[in-house]
Structure 1
Amino acid sequence: MALDKRHIRFERLNMEEVVHEMLTLAARGDGKGWMNVQPLVADENRPPESPIFKLFTAKGPPIPLGTWVPGHHHRDKWQPASVGLQHAGGRHAAKLLEERGVTEPDGWNRRQDHIKRGLVYELPEGQDPRVAVEFLLDAMSQLAALPLSGRWLAIVLTQR
């Protein structure tokens, strides 16, 4: 499977390009694209990557990774849009987020809250993509194990 990648650096107050890409992916409706979002961290704050460490640790990555997948048809069945979040926040991240003032938007259905695989939500049909990005930025800001810069990277992935 060949993938095209497009990187978009952005700040919270300037998300128009990211939202535009999300709307474009959603309009396709074919399930052949998604978007990853993660905070940009200064290199001196970035921990070394170790594949062996990943195998034996129960937590997710110290630099959170958010994923948005648009709703699409799969085997003649509609799959709703979803948001996922890998993080190092530990068990019951949804509860931790709520305690820190980050609540899942109305109509979202929490499908998973796992220490290693992260949080996964199903979104209601017609959800404004901006709501998903804002939730991801808020959640990642609270669950990051490192200081964040306030700048973000969106990676738009599409299958050819």
Structure 2
Amino acid sequence: MVMTDNNRAVIKLKEKFSSSILDVKEFRGEVTVTVKKEDIISVCKCLKEELRYDMLTDVTAVDYLGQDPRFMVVYNLYSIPNKDRLRLKAPVGEENVEIESVACLWNSADWLERETYDLFGIVFANHPDLRRILMTDDWVGHPLRKDYPLQGPGREPYKGRLS
């Protein structure tokens, strides 16, 4: 196997955070590392400061309704000096829908975490300004959750013809 920067990142993370890593997968050259949510700040700090993942390109979530944990928070990172990508995931349970904000490490996390909060209802602890960003302040619910009503909150289903 060719030693890529992704492999170096995984080796370093396994050395430093062996008890935090839940899973490592590689598919078509893309590496995904799943870590415990309690360790997200320390893992991200290592990725930024030691492994030079200096750009957070996206934060989002996936709703696995009916599974435990229900949510997976997904971070897409990029290292400009190494020209390398890494996906980091952290499971978040339905009973405590909270994870630490990484806005203290990457400024780009600010609006990305607000969007994830707005659409999935995941609370980012210690976020500098966690409030809705897409939906109005009086909006009920979080539209990207799989149990969100298809017609929106309090709306009647469409009864006309679709074609």
Is the pair's TM-score, using the shorter chain for normalization, greater than 0.5?
Answer: no
TM-score relative to the length of structure 1:
0.28
- By relative contact order (CA 8 Å, sep 6+), the higher-ranking structure is 1
Structure richer in helix, relative to its length: 1
TM-score relative to the length of structure 2:
0.28
